[in-house]
Chain A
Amino acid sequence: MSESSSKPILNIRDLVVEFKTEAGVIRALDGISFEVGEGEALGIVGESGCGKSVTALSILRLIPNPPGRIAGGSIELDGIDVVSQPEDKMRKVRGSLASMIFQEPMTALNPVFTIGNQMVEVIRVHQKVSKVDAKKQAIEMLRTVNIESPEKRIDQYPHELSGGMRQRVMIAMALSCSPKLLIADEPTTALDVTVQAQVMEEISRLQREMNMGMILITHDLGVIAETCTRVVVMYCGKIIEMAETKELYENPKHPYTRGLLDSIPRIREEKLESLPIIEGMVPDLANLPKGCRFAERCPKAEDRCRENEPPLEDTESGGKVACFIPN
């Protein structure tokens, strides 16, 4: 099944996001559509420039305007129309209905305030509780993310914590108001691999326990394989493939997905002569080629691929792919 059976917590249709740059107006997102069901973990994978972070920011309407703007399409978050919502109502949504965790825990936390201060602030924005009660809640949240001696840690400053702990604090803050949707934008990329495993374990566990929808954005196909039930693959602002995780990894339909799976360095049984690669590089969004955006790097490209853009269509296995010659 490519779409979840319960009512989706997030429904994005034909979303277009534009940015004004020196080179003109570019479309960071060029008409993307997908859904996230209640309690579902969806992975979005792609490389720089594909638009995955822009997607995340759009959901919470955090795209800086100027130079960016949502130019078309719709975003429905638990029934709320995000695109047209007035700013003061959006502020209520952020952090309580949907929360976000970012890649760099150091810069996302204010170094001059204790983590307790910051967590209490977040809690009190969305709940009418006293500072004392909010602090108690914050300590509980720290315990939930397995930070030891939370009563001590609550009064510490970000620099006194390690990278992994700071990321846990971010997670605790994001979850403090029990959101229905968690957006995690490369949450473990900046962490060491042993810490990464711990943090991903926390995120997965909490997601299951709280029956939270989650969008996990990353370039790491390994992390997605271990956490997500469905995957969306993006390239140059478009979705080029969507499928259930197992299906995507065992039978990738789009040549880019296949190339990505092959070329990402991973531990292999046999040593290879030469690592498989994807030729060329990602095109400049200001200078997109005609037709399929992947055609110039695609080993299977035909003339029609360079003339027309392939539409995103259903596949027999329940996924979607945008390719004239899928596998």
Chain B
Amino acid sequence: MFHSQLIKPMEDPLVQVKNLKTYYPIKGGLLNRRMGDVRAVNGVSLDIQAGQTFGLVGESGCGKSTFGRSILRLQNVTSGEVRIDGQDILSLDREALVKARADMQIIFQDPYGSLNPRMTVRQIIREPLDTHEVGEKVGRDAEVMRLLEICGLRKSVADRYPHEFSGGQRQRIGIARALALKPKFIVADEPVSALDVSVQSQVLNLISDLQAEFGISFLFISHDLAVVQHISHEVGVMYFGELVERASAEELYSSPKHPYTQALLEAIPQPLPGREKKKISITGDIPSHHDPPKGCPFQPRCPVAMPQCAEHKPPLKPLDTFSRHQVSCWLY
């Protein structure tokens, strides 16, 4: 544990995000004027090493999905910098962006909405290959078969339609599609949240195996801290559009520092009957974007808030000089 804390990255991270902001205008009034902004992502910076997984957790509305889509430019970004494998993604023109997409793919949450119901599995997985003209046309079907096999599906499924499969199988198809272009980086946006619990582990194992075999980096977005623990090397916690804590996976779960992280971990129901009932430490709801709190966004609900928390927003900084564990809180 000590060891992983102090290791400095040997090379530049594969994914570097600096101060990403994605704002949506709030329109209102008679003339539909812009009255303010929903700051869905409000200055988030993080980086991911090659072959590693960054788990991004947070509750609904915290901006984690928006963040994932912003990095891939599936969402309009307001400001910031995104570099994948050294390339500045946000400044690419349309043609260059299409080429760059081969390196950065996405897996979606909804196994039912993420596959075109009118296309066969074969057509769905071939589409990326055809769009980027990978190899010769004749070889592409064989590649589709290979991808199906890697994802644990029988070759006979290729000519079936999405509605004939279960949620877990559809997710596998979605994963096969994401792998088709041999990307270096995949954003997994809540990939197991919509699946039955006993199937979740199967898909998580598949993602781990793929990372081990192909060295893909993942941004694993989830609201479920339990799911993220197993699969991530580093974990970041988002609240109201900002990253409030970030650490290696072991560190975050064993010694969470931010009061929100602590509350999240406390709130998870554990399948251990007879455990002493914990006291609910936070109440209330996430703040409204129409009236964002001054200072630290968590302060209205924080059990240990201090007067300065309502005045100045704490920066995200490391616990001490060599630590990779960063917190955004005046307690530290």
Contact = CB atoms under 8 A, between A and B. Distances in A.
Interface in A278-309: 278, 281-282
A281 B168 CA distance: 8
A198 B196 contact: no
Interface stretch (A29-37, A77-85, A265-273): A265-273
B196 A48 contact: yes
Q: Chain B: interface residue count, which band?
A: 35 or more
A21 interface: no
Interface stretch (B40-48, B75-83, B118-126, B198-206): B198-206
A220 B204 CA distance: 18
B232 to A, nearest CB: 10
B4 to A, nearest CB: 12
B283 A198 contact: yes
Nearest to B230: A275
Interface string B279-294: 0101101100000000
Contacts of A196: 267, 269
Give the one of A164, A195, A266 with max B CB within 10 A. A266
B169 to A, nearest CB: 8
Contacts of A245: 273
A222 B285 contact: no
Given A225-B273, A226-B277, A264 B198 contact: yes
Nearest to A247: B273
Interface string B234-275: 000000000000000110010000000001111111111111
Interface in B175-203: 192, 196-202
A43 to B, nearest CB: 10
A192 B272 CA distance: 21
A282 B196 contact: yes
Given A165-B285, A198-B283, A272-B230, A267 B197 contact: no
A155 interface: no
Contact of A249 (B60, B201, B271): B271
B168 A194 contact: no
Interface stretch (A114-122, A127-135, A255-263): A255-263
A163 B268 CA distance: 18
B116 interface: no
B201 A263 contact: yes
A267 B229 contact: yes
A106 to B, nearest CB: 13
Give the one of B59, B201, B225, B268 with max A CB within 10 A. B201
B208 A274 contact: yes
A267 B264 contact: no
Interface in B27-72: 59-60
Contact of A260 (B169, B197, B265): B197
Interface in A29-80: 47-48
A224 B273 CA distance: 8
A201 B211 CA distance: 40
A266 B273 contact: no
A272 B192 CA distance: 18
B197 A249 contact: no
B226 interface: yes
A275 B201 CA distance: 6
Nearest to B285: A162
A47 B197 contact: yes
Given A197-B280, A249-B273, A274-B208, A268 B230 contact: yes
B273 A267 contact: no
A193 B223 contact: yes
B262 to A, nearest CB: 11
Contacts of A47: 196-198
A312 interface: no
Interface in B140-196: 166-169, 192, 196
A197 B265 CA distance: 11
A277 B202 contact: yes
B107 interface: no
A271 B270 contact: no
B103 interface: no
Nearest to A248: B273
Interface string A175-211: 0000000000000000011111110110000000000
12 contacts: A162-B285, A162-B286, A192-B60, A194-B282, A201-B280, A223-B269, A224-B271, A225-B269, A225-B273, A263-B198, A265-B200, A265-B201
Given A47-B196, A162-B285, A278-B198, 5 more contacts: A196-B267, A223-B269, A225-B271, A245-B273, A268-B230
